[in-house]
Structure 1
Amino acid sequence: MNFSSDTSAPAHPNVLKALSAANTGLEASYGIDVVTQRLRARLADVFNTDDFDYWLTASGTASNALALSCFCPPTGAVLCHAGAHIAVDERGAPEFFSGGGKLHLLRGPDGKIGAAQLDEALARINHDFVHETPAHVLSLTNLTENGTAYSVAEVSDYAAKAHATGLVVHLDGARLGNALVATGASAAEMSWKAGVDVLTFGLTKTGAMGCEIILLFGEARQKKRELEARAKRSGHMPPKMRYLAAQAEAMLADRLWLDLATHANEMARRMAEGLRRQGVDLAFEPQGNEVFALLSEAQVSVLHNAGAVFYPWMGGSQRLVCSWATTPEEVDAFLGVLKG
């Protein structure tokens, strides 16, 4: 009954098979190998465009920090939600990688930036005022840290406002697959078609061993050389990148990543429905693979004593994360312990 995180789940067997298949012969280093180059066609198909460039890393923090550092100068700032992963879970990596750029934290319900808060922040930007730390990037997260999803319409609206103010739009897609399943949108509709300039596309939480992809769309492709330089300088230029690319190929083949996200979302829905049947309130309406339950201290104690693993979250809730490896039996066992 481990609901601690989707990063606790094992890698999908198809990923391990792909790694084994890639583990033959000699290949070029640093991303110019056959597998990494071949991945372009797969990404073009998934995102329905050829107007992009990409880079692979092993962690979401590296992807976010590298991507943001290419667009936020040391004297600038990134607009993001106060509860965003880059703000509360990355130990200052975006600030460190950008050489001193700030994060301007915005509020909004359910982990999403409020429209009024964004409008106010954009109206305050003044690059000519020397005392100002003007924003250069708007960063959105989908799914949010509260397990909620921005719709395509919301991303498009926020991106249009950001672009009108001269900002670049970054999307943290560590759980992009879960967000797409929740909203019914395609990868293209939720990214470049909605105005996203740079996407950090996560596959680790979905079922890979450790694979994240930075995607630069349209004019943002001009930052590819800088991205490579920053990756090298920070130690995020994997010599044997083919093993990251092999994971991505396996996950993207035959929509595996979306199938796995669908399963994780369904397990979370099963958990949420079971909790509600027992009178447990939820802090947020579950839209992806996370459930935030308002459990009492006694309930938490009983569950922990029974071997259930989960963590407390903001607002007094308990976060329960389902993954591709979560089974209905695990969810039912958790609910059974709670029922007593």
Structure 2
Amino acid sequence: MSSPAPNQHFASDNYAGICPEALKYIVEANGSGHEVAYGDDSWTQRVCDRLRDLFQTDCEVFFVFNGTAANSLALASLCQSYHSVICHELAHVETDECGGPEFFSNGSKLLVAQGGPENGKLTPDAIESVVMRRADIHYPKPKVVTLTQSTEVGTVYTVEEVRAIAAIAKRRHLRVHMDGARFANAVASLDVHPSEITWRAGVDVLCFGGTKNGLPVGEAVVFFDHTLAEDFAYRVKQAGQLASKMRFISAPWLGLLDNDVWLRNARHANAMARLLHERLRVIPGVRIMFEPQANAVFAELPLHVIEQLRARRWRFYTFIGAGGCRLMCAWDTRPETVEQIAADIAALCAA
């Protein structure tokens, strides 16, 4: 009976540890002596400036502990309690954030749209349909469109798709929010400059995920429109997301930003997903559900295969996305781990 490579699994890229470059800056920040608290330290200012350089624009940057807080607080800053947020039916804000966006916005309603069933993405037509559903005062007024990049089924919005959605949003006076928990994987997949699929395409605020890309903890909320960031620091504080020793949240970002390590990590995770896809797609009894474009592979496996994989101590989810098994690759996933799980699946399917 085979077993996974030591401590390597496919349940989530959150399972991975801290990449060495990020860990290096935690140690450096710790050895730099006393620093001003609550984000006024020199490390946080350096990272904010580096992110402005990365996006080639004078954006406002804030740091929070996790993606749920990033999305919830960002969306709350874009709408009032009587407004609504249009999202895909599989969006993380709808399925996996325990009502956080509604809670922090004091009741803004999520309006679920059915996007393309084959790719998990919102379309301009789907957004238009939701906007036009009702316009009376008894219905929460649409105010924001939120996109998950990459999506919950491992696909990626192209530059053209983001621009088309931003165009319909502008016509309907909607703001555009991007849940970028795996933004790095999307940029790596598209091979475009990060500005091209954000503010240049019409995105107002991005939640830039660091945890899944090799950080210990921490997401960056990036406002490309300064007016939308007004009083956002107070939201962060009130939500319990203002780190007193902020430098230990921000400094590891330097490890990702130096020499584009964030892209290297994402490219590796994406490459491991492509390798896994290549191995699985030729196995009789396995059906690939979505063409993998980032670092996730969704596959339908026979029930007995799923049970036996878990008996062999492989960890993966079967309730995320549109069904089947989600096999997620991380910045540190090793090729031999991919080959091992693929071999186990092939053997079990053959049996």
Structure 2 counterpart of 1:327, from 327, 334, 337: 334
Mapped contact 2:148–2:178 kept (Cα < 8 A): yes
- Would you tell me which structure has more helix in proportion to its own residues? 1
Partner residue of 1:42? Answer: 50
User: Residue in 2 aligned with 1:247?
Assistant: 252
* Residues 187, 194 of structure 2: 8 Å contact kept: yes
Pick one of 300, 303, 307 that aligns with 1:297.
Answer: 303
Map residues 84-123 of structure 1 onto 2, 5 A cutoff. Answer: 84-108=91-115, 109=117, 110-123=119-132
Q: Secondary structure at the match of 1:311?
A: coil
- Secondary structure of 1:187's counterpart equals coil
The TM-score with structure 1 as length reference comes to: 0.96
Answer yes or no: is the 8 Å Cα contact 2:84–2:142 preserved in 1: yes
Give the structure 2 partner of residue 310 of structure 1. Answer: 316
Q: Which residue of 2 aligns with 1:236?
A: 241
What is the RMSD computed on CA atoms of the aligned residues? 1.2
Determine the C-alpha separation between the residues in 1 that align with 2:235 and 2:213. 26
Which aligned segments of 4 or more residues in structure 1 are displaced greater than 4 angstroms?
none
The C-alpha deviation readout for 1:255-276, integer Å capped at 9, x for no partner, is 0000000000000000011001
Distance in 2 between residues matched to 1:240 and 1:291, nearest whole Å: 37
Shift of 1:150: 0.4
Q: CA offset at residue 339 of structure 1?
A: 2.1
1:205 counterpart SS class: helix
Could you report, residue by residue, the CA deviation over 1:86-121 in whole angstroms, capped at 9, with x for unpaired residues?
000000000000001100000112211133211212
**For residue 272 of structure 1, what is the amino acid of its counterpart?**
H
Alignment match, 1:26: 34
- Asked if the contact 1:125–1:135 (Cα under 8 Å) also holds between the matched residues in 2, the reply is no
Q: Does the 8 Å CA contact 2:24/2:252 hold for their aligned counterparts?
A: no
Q: % of aligned pairs identical?
A: 40
In the alignment, is residue 75 of structure 1 matched against residue 82 of structure 2?
yes
Contact persistence 1:302–1:337 (CA under 8 A):
no
Instruction: Provide the secondary structure at the position in 1 that maps to 2:326.
Output: strand
**Cα offset, 1:149, TM superposition:** 0.4
Unmatched runs of 5 consecutive residues or more in structure 2: none
SS of the residue corresponding to residue 105 of structure 1 reads strand
| Residue of structure 2 aligned with 1:142, choices 134, 139, 149 | 149
Query: SS of 2:39's equivalent?
Result: coil
Range with bigger deviation, 37-46 or 154-163: 37-46
The question of whether the paired residues in 2 share the 8 Å contact of 1:6 and 1:323 is answered with yes
Aligned-partner residue type, residue 130 of structure 1: I
Q: Would you say the 8 A contact 1:203–1:212 is kept in 2?
A: yes
Shift of 1:131: 0.5
Deviation at 1:123, TM superposition (A): 2.9
Equivalent residues, number: 335
**What are the ranges of 5 or more consecutive residues in structure 1 without an aligned counterpart?**
none
Q: Is the 8 A contact 1:122 1:162 kept in 2?
A: no
CA spacing shift, 1:316–1:197, aligned 2, 3 Å: closer
Distance of 1:273 and 1:55 partners within structure 2:
39
For residue 225 of structure 1, report the CA deviation from its aligned partner.
3.6
**What letter matches 1:121 in structure 2?**
V
Which has the larger displacement, 54-63 or 244-253?
A: 244-253
